[in-house]
Amino acid sequence: MSQPIEDYALIGNTHTAALVGKNGAIDWLCLPTFASPSCFCALLGTQEHGYWQIAPVHATVNTTRRYREGTLILETEFETETGKVSLIDFMPVATDEELVNVIRVVRGRSGEMSMEMALSLRFDYGRTIPWVRHAPYGLTAIAGPHAVKFATPVHLESEHFVTRAHFTVHAGETIPFVLTWHKSHHPLPPTMDAETSLKETEAGWQRWSSQCTYQGEWHAAVLRSVITLKALTFSPTGGIVAAPTTSLPEQLGGERNWDYRYCWIRDATFTLYSMLTCGYFEEANAWRTWLERAVAGLPSQMQIMYGIYGEKLLSESNASWLPGYENSRPVRIGNAAHEQFQLDVYGELMDTFHTARLHHIGAEDDSWRIQQVLLEFIEHAWREPDEGIWEIRGPRRHFTHSKVMAWVAADRAVKAVERWNLPGPVDQWRILRDTIHADILEHGYSAKRKSFVQSYGSEALDSALLMLPLVGFLPPNDPRILNTIAAIEQELMVDGFVLRYRPDPAIDGLDGNEGAFLICSFWLVDSLALTGRLDKARQLFERLLSVRNEVGLLAEEYDPRSGRQIGNFPQALSHVALINSAQNLSRFFGGPAQKRAHEGQQADDKLPESTAWVTERLP
One DSSP character per residue, 197-256 reads HHHHHHHHHHHHHTT----STTHHHHHHHHHHHHHTEETTTTEE-S-S-B---SSTTSS-
Q: How many other C-beta atoms lie within 10 A of the C-beta of residue 168?
A: 14
580, 465, 399, 288 alpha-carbon torsion, rounded to 10°: -10
Going by C-beta distance under 8 Å and a sequence separation of 6 or more, which residues neighbour residue 563? none
| 475 shares a domain with 362 | yes
Does some domain include residue 192? no
| 440 shares a domain with 379 | yes
pTM value is 0.94
| 587 shares a domain with 439 | yes
Ranges of beta strands (E only) in 275-320 are: 305-306, 317-318
Does some domain include residue 193? no
* Best CA proximity match to 232, nearest among 28, 23, 16, 18: 16
Q: How many other C-beta atoms lie within 10 A of the C-beta of residue 369?
A: 12
Backbone angles phi, psi at 260, to 5 degrees: -110, 20
Please answer whether residues 116 and 57 qualify as being in contact, where contact means their C-beta atoms are separated by less than 8 angstroms: yes
Burial of 421 (0-12, 13-18, 19+ CB in 10 A): exposed
pLDDT means over runs of 10, the chain (619 residues): 90 98 98 97 97 96 97 98 97 88 98 98 97 96 97 95 97 98 96 97 98 96 98 96 97 92 89 93 92 86 92 93 96 90 91 89 78 93 94 87 97 95 96 98 97 96 96 96 98 94 67 82 97 96 97 96 95 97 86 42 48 41
Does some domain include residue 253? yes
Half-sphere exposure in the Cβ direction for 111 (13 Å, CA): 13
Backbone angles phi, psi at 192, to 5 degrees: -70, 145
pLDDT of residue 83: 96
* Best CA proximity match to 239, nearest among 229, 228, 227: 229
| 496 shares a domain with 428 | yes
Does some domain include residue 197? no
Ranges of beta strands (E only) in 257-338 are: 263-264, 305-306, 317-318, 332-333
- CATH code for position 76: 2.70.98.40
| 471 shares a domain with 409 | yes
* Rounded Cα distance, 340 and 336, in Å: 8
* Rounded Cα distance, 26 and 119, in Å: 10
Going by C-beta distance under 8 Å and a sequence separation of 6 or more, which residues neighbour residue 289? 238, 362, 363
Helix, strand and coil percent figures for the chain, each rounded to 5: 35, 25, 40
pLDDT of residue 503: 78
Domain that holds residue 315: 211-617
- CATH code for position 418: 1.50.10.10
* Rounded Cα distance, 170 and 174, in Å: 8
Report residue 325 CA to chain centroid gap.
Answer: 19
Does some domain include residue 72? yes
Assign 3-class secondary structure to 469-510: HHCCCCCCCCHHHHHHHHHHHHHCEECCEECCCCCCHHHHCC
pLDDT of residue 600: 47
Report residue 25 CA to chain centroid gap.
Answer: 22
| 330 shares a domain with 223 | yes
Does some domain include residue 23? yes
Please answer whether residues 577 and 523 qualify as being in contact, where contact means their C-beta atoms are separated by less than 8 angstroms: yes
Which amino acid does the sequence have at 374?
A: L
* Rounded Cα distance, 574 and 482, in Å: 25
Domain boundary among 208, 237, 260: 208
Compute and round to an integer the Cα radius of gyration of the chain: 25
Q: How many other C-beta atoms lie within 10 A of the C-beta of residue 129?
A: 16
| 232 shares a domain with 181 | no
pLDDT of residue 341: 87
Burial of 199 (0-12, 13-18, 19+ CB in 10 A): exposed
| 453 shares a domain with 417 | yes
* Best CA proximity match to 137, nearest among 76, 190, 99: 190
Backbone angles phi, psi at 153, to 5 degrees: -75, -10
Reduced to 3 states (helix: H, G, I; strand: E, B; else coil), residue 463 is helix
Helices (H), ranges, 386-471:
400-420, 426-443, 467-470
Q: How many other C-beta atoms lie within 10 A of the C-beta of residue 569?
A: 25
* Rounded Cα distance, 324 and 256, in Å: 12
| 251 shares a domain with 169 | no
Please answer whether residues 343 and 299 qualify as being in contact, where contact means their C-beta atoms are separated by less than 8 angstroms: no
Please answer whether residues 318 and 331 qualify as being in contact, where contact means their C-beta atoms are separated by less than 8 angstroms: yes
Backbone angles phi, psi at 472, to 5 degrees: 85, 20
| 368 shares a domain with 261 | yes
* Rounded Cα distance, 504 and 460, in Å: 10
Domain count, the chain: 2
* Rounded Cα distance, 444 and 434, in Å: 15
First to last CA, the chain: 50
Reduced to 3 states (helix: H, G, I; strand: E, B; else coil), residue 357 is helix
| 491 shares a domain with 352 | yes
* Best CA proximity match to 379, nearest among 441, 417, 424, 419: 424
Does some domain include residue 194? no
Specify the long-range contacts of residues 44-47, CB closer than 8 Å, at least 24 apart: 44/2, 44/125, 44/126, 44/246, 44/247, 44/319, 44/322, 44/323, 44/324, 44/325, 44/331, 45/2, 45/126, 45/322, 45/323, 45/324, 46/1, 46/323, 47/1, 47/118, 47/120
Reduced to 3 states (helix: H, G, I; strand: E, B; else coil), residue 101 is strand
Please answer whether residues 571 and 578 qualify as being in contact, where contact means their C-beta atoms are separated by less than 8 angstroms: no
Beta-bridge partners for 461: none
Reduced to 3 states (helix: H, G, I; strand: E, B; else coil), residue 166 is strand
Going by C-beta distance under 8 Å and a sequence separation of 6 or more, which residues neighbour residue 107? 85, 86, 88, 169, 173, 174, 175
Does some domain include residue 113? yes
| 125 shares a domain with 90 | yes
**Which uninterrupted H or E stretch holds 117?**
strand 99-120
